[in-house]
């Protein structure tokens, strides 16, 4: 996934989200910094959702092509 000009894996994005949440929960950031962190977190979250949707589609395609269900 591409984020801020870098190609990152979803695992790295999740770690970044955890750090953002920790900073926001600490209450140490000023309002402007908090808003920027929130926007960055929402962007990361959206990109993670997109990637997970893509993987889900790939798995569904695999299930259909192979007449197999991963939900057994």
Chain segment 26-65, per-residue pLDDT in tens: 999 999 999 999 999 999 999 999 999 999 999 988 888 8
DSSP assignment string, the chain: -EETTEE--HHHHHHHHHHHHHHHHHT-S-HHHHHHHHHHHHHHHHHHHHHHHHHHHHHHHHHHHHT--TT-
- Which domains does the chain carry? 2-66 (1.10.287)
What per-residue confidence (pLDDT) applies to 19? 97
Task: Enter the pTM of the model.
Answer: 0.75
């Amino acid at each position: 996934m591409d984020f801020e000009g870098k190609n990152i894996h979803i695992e790295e994005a999740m770690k970044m989200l955890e750090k953002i949440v920790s900073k926001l929960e600490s209450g140490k950031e000023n309002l402007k910094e908090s808003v920027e962190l929130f926007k960055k977190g929402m962007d990361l979250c959206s990109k993670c959702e997109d990637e997970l949707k893509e993987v889900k589609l790939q798995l569904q395609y695999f299930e259909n092509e192979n007449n197999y269900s991963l939900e057994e």
